[in-house]
Chains A and B, each alone.
Chain A
Amino acid sequence: MLRLVAQRVLALVPLLLIVSVLTFSFTSLLPSDPVDLILGESGTQEQHDMLRKRMGLDQPVQVRYAAWLGKAVRGDLGTSFFSSVSVTDAVLQRLPVTLSLTAFSALIAIVVGVAAGVAAALKPQSLADRLATLGATFGQAVPNFWFGLILVAIFAVGLRWFPATGFVRFSESPSDWLRSVTLPSIALGLSASAAIARQVRSAMVGVLQQDYIRAARAQGLSRSRVILRHALTNAMVPVVAVLSFQITVLLGGALVVEQVFSINGLGTLAIGAVRQQDIPMLQGLVLVMVALVVAVQLITDIIYGLLNPKARPS
């Protein structure tokens, strides 16, 4: 297991390098010139040249990349073209917001999805199964931003149980954090929970027909032990295999849901950076997002290895 983790962490280095090269070359292929964007039509040619030199944009791409990489390795992702704030600071400031939203919605999606999937699988074709299937279809069909607005209308504006917008940091007030993150997390996690419920149901139905379930029952194990220890651990193997994909989708969805709930997370930052063509900010964001996705994959791979003996390197 340790070897698996070490292998994966080492494989992270070339992957991040490749991604950084790609984002760097894509952004330098953009047709617009950041200097023009900053100065607009007004500046003189001299002013343009001066700014270009100060920003290092007169250098060839590979030199700029090497300089950027040298700093990035030390944790300095450059400076925003527009707000002159450090990209690292800006990203680190927003990261906990998006992370807590994604993590909480992943938790909701997994708990709701697994519970609904198991309930449906225990009695196929029953009322519970039909309701779960109906709910899953609804959950996958409904866009998260629309569902978010409905949640706000009912639970924030109507019932006033939760704030409609904004985000409170966990370090400031855990209870307010929970209140602020609940509605966006439900909106975000809905489609993932539906997808997980479907996968758990089909995997669980297959596992429950296996003879080791019959054997466990014949040995006199309690119903909960048969379902949780014997059936669910095996049914979760195919589910965990695609869980990293689900969480990656959540990470992308968070960027949208942040807009609905006016949360200042990475999404708001990214949309602003795209609009302004703030290249250093975009590069930093892409790199951090890729690192997050890879980290999620690493974690799910470890869980997969724990659940499935065949996947462990011997």
Chain B
Amino acid sequence: MTAAPLLEITDLHITYWRRSLLGLRGKPFHAVRGASLSIRPGETLGLVGESGSGKSSIANAVLGLAPVSSGSIRFAGSELAAMNARYPPSLRKRIQAVFQDPYSSLNPAMTVEDIITEPLRVHTELTRAERRAKAIELLQRVSLSEEHLRRHPYQFSGGQRQRIAIASALALQPEMIVLDEPVSALDVSTQNQIINLLYERREALGIAYLLIAHDLALVHHISDRIAVMYLGHIVEEGPSDRVFHAPAHPYTKALLDAVPLLDPQAQRRRRAARKSAPAPEAARVAPTGCPYRNRCPSAMKRCAEESPPAYSVAAGGVASCFLLADARPEAASAASATA
């Protein structure tokens, strides 16, 4: 557990500028505000949060698809944030990605063979026949077969398409795969198959996953650690079981509460309580203080005055909430507390 992190994100800020009418810079939109996290080789980090929390911005930044405003993204010793999205191919092939919507993430004009072998064509010297052999092997690894090679994406179901996307991401034997909501577009029975496939590939190949999702329960099964994001901040981080069974931050508790209750009476009471809370867009607050204070049931005066630091949680991990201030001493930093 002391291995050096494969990916280390420190104090990452990502700001988008809305264009004004004349094409000039308009209002800034802070998607990520000082996020830090790390992933060790072969480890899976679940990054959870509601839509708009900035989790996909982190994925884009790691993949070099979004500009980094400040902070650092170190991957295997190389500083990615400084490369301004121009990664050398040698680095690029070590990080691959699988995206949310398999109906949109596969090029409809290409055959399955072209889709799977595209990374090999760009990054390796393999001949056409060698690439095809590799594609057949990859298809078999994701429970598809050679006969699917000449087909086009529209001939497949959502789950099969996601298998093809995974096969393509595995082609270069990357050290890390960024999974951006890989199952949320699929139906529930297919979700488990894809999660199991990802689990099985990780165990066989030792790949690290940055798994982005909004469903904590789903992430819990496959993740070693979970980080929870709210409005561009990482509010809680810790071992998967601890975060899932004993959440320390009020927002993590709310996320777990988002799973509907079986008792209609209890569900109705909870809905009534939740109604009073403003939507995340309306709840955006000044950069000082706790980002969650407007929706938090336990908000105190202190929450508006200063930003809660990362406090370490007894059973492992950290959470940025003053509720922990009395019980726990302040952690030195989020990164060191997780190691």
Tell me which of B97, B109, B111, B119 contacts A234 (CB under 8 A).
Answer: B109
**Is there contact, CB below 8 Å, between B23 and A125?**
yes
Interface residues as binary, B56-91 with A (CB distance below 8 Å gives 1, 0 otherwise): 000010011100000000000000000000010100
Most buried by B among A215, A217, A225: A215
The interface stretch among A134-142, A195-203, A306-314 is A306-314
Alpha-carbon gap, A212 to B168, bound state (A) = 12
Interface residue from B93, B100, B154 paired with A309 (Cβ < 8 Å): B154
User: Inter-chain contact count A-B, CB under 8 Å?
Assistant: 75
CA A127 to CA B23, docked complex, whole Å: 8
CA distance A309 to B108 in the complex (A): 8
Known: A210-B104, A309-B152. A215 touches B165 (CB 8 A): yes
In Å, the complex CA distance between A130 and B21 comes to 12
- Majority-rule SS of A interface residues: helix
Q: Give chain B residues whose Cβ lies under 8 Å from the Cβ of A309.
A: 108-109, 111, 152, 154
**Selected contact of B104 from candidates A211, A219, A307, A308, CB within 8 Å:** A211
B97 with A220: CB separation less than 8 A: no
Structural contact, A219 and B122, CB atoms closer than 8 A: yes
A94 at the interface (CB under 8 A from B): no
Q: Please tell me if the beta carbons of B107 and A219 are within 8 angstroms of each other in the complex.
A: no
What B residues does A218 contact at CB under 8 A?
A: 63-65, 95-97, 178
C-alpha spacing A230/B97, complex, angstroms: 17
A221 in the interface, Cβ–Cβ < 8 Å?
Answer: yes
Q: How far is the CA of A310 from the CA of B108 in the complex (A)?
A: 9
Interface residues of B in 34-69 (CB under 8 A from A): 60, 63-65
A216 at the interface (CB under 8 A from B): yes
Instruction: Quote the shortest CB–CB distance from B98 to chain A (angstroms).
Output: 8
The yes or no answer to B105 lying at the interface (CB within 8 A) is yes
Chain B residues with CB under 8 A of A230: 107
A221 touches B122 (CB 8 A): yes
Contact pattern, A 269-307, Cβ under 8 Å of B = 1, otherwise 0: 000000000000000000000000000000000000001
- Complex-state Cα separation, A309 to B107, whole angstroms: 11
Closest-CB distance, B19 to chain A (whole angstroms): 6
Q: Which residues of B contact A219 (CB under 8 A)?
A: 92, 96-97, 118-119, 122, 168
Say yes or no for A126: interface residue by CB 8 A criterion.
yes
Query: Are A130 and B109 interface neighbours, CB within 8 A?
Result: no
Say yes or no: B106 contacts A212, CB within 8 Å. yes
Question: A47 an interface residue at 8 Å Cβ cutoff?
Answer: no
Residue-by-residue, is A182-226 near B (CB-CB < 8 Å gives 1, otherwise 0)?
Answer: 000000000000000000000000000011101111111110010
Q: How far does the alpha carbon of A218 sit from the alpha carbon of B123 in the complex, in Å? A: 13
Q: Does A93 contact B (CB under 8 A)?
A: no
B109 touches A220 (CB 8 A): no
Chain B, interface residues (CB within 8 Å), range: 20 to 34
Tell me the nearest residue of chain A to B154, going by C-beta: A310
A219–B97 CA distance with the chains assembled, in angstroms: 8
Contacts of B100 in A (CB 8 A): 211
Say how far A306's CB is from chain B's closest CB, in angstroms: 9
Supposing A127-B23, A215-B99 touch, asked if A220 and B122 sit within 8 A by C-beta, the answer is yes
Pick the contact of B105: A127, A130, A215, A308 (CB < 8 A): A215
Nearest chain A CB to B31's CB is how many angstroms away? 16
Alpha-carbon separation in the docked complex, A5 to B89 (Å):
43
> B101 an interface residue at 8 Å Cβ cutoff?
yes
A233 CB–B CB distance under 8 Å: yes
Residues B123 and A215 in contact, CB atoms below 8 Å apart: no
Is the pair A234, B99 in contact by a Cβ cutoff of 8 Å? no
Which partner residue on chain B sits nearest A222 by CB separation? B122
Residues of B within 8 A of A237 (CB): 109
Closest chain A CB from B313 CB (angstroms): 34
Residue from B60, B87, B104, B109 with most neighbouring chain A CB atoms (10 Å): B109
Residues of A within 8 A of B168 (CB): 215, 219
A125 to B123, CA, bound (A): 34
Q: How far is the CA of A221 from the CA of B115 in the complex (A)?
A: 12
Q: Are A221 and B99 in contact (CB under 8 A)?
A: no
Complex Cα–Cα for A308 and B153 (A) = 11
Question: Nearest-CB distance from A308 to chain B (Å)?
Answer: 7
Residues of the B chain whose Cβ atoms lie less than 8 Å from the Cβ of A125:
19, 23
Q: Considering the complex of A and B, which 10 residue pairs feature the smallest CB-CB distances, nearest first?
A: A220-B92, A211-B105, A309-B152, A218-B97, A211-B104, A211-B99, A212-B107, A218-B63, A219-B119, A210-B104
* 18 A-B pairs whose Cβ atoms sit less than 8 Å apart in the complex: A211-B99, A211-B100, A211-B104, A212-B107, A214-B97, A214-B99, A216-B107, A219-B96, A219-B97, A219-B119, A220-B92, A222-B122, A234-B108, A309-B108, A309-B111, A309-B152, A310-B108, A310-B152
List 20 extra interface pairs beyond A210-B104, A218-B97, CB under 8 A: A126-B23, A127-B23, A211-B101, A212-B106, A212-B107, A214-B97, A214-B105, A215-B168, A218-B65, A219-B168, A220-B87, A220-B89, A220-B92, A225-B122, A233-B109, A234-B107, A308-B108, A309-B109, A309-B152, A310-B154
Residues of B within 8 A of A (CB): 19, 23, 60, 63-65, 87, 89, 92-93, 95-97, 99-101, 104-109, 111, 118-119, 122-123, 152, 154, 165, 168, 178
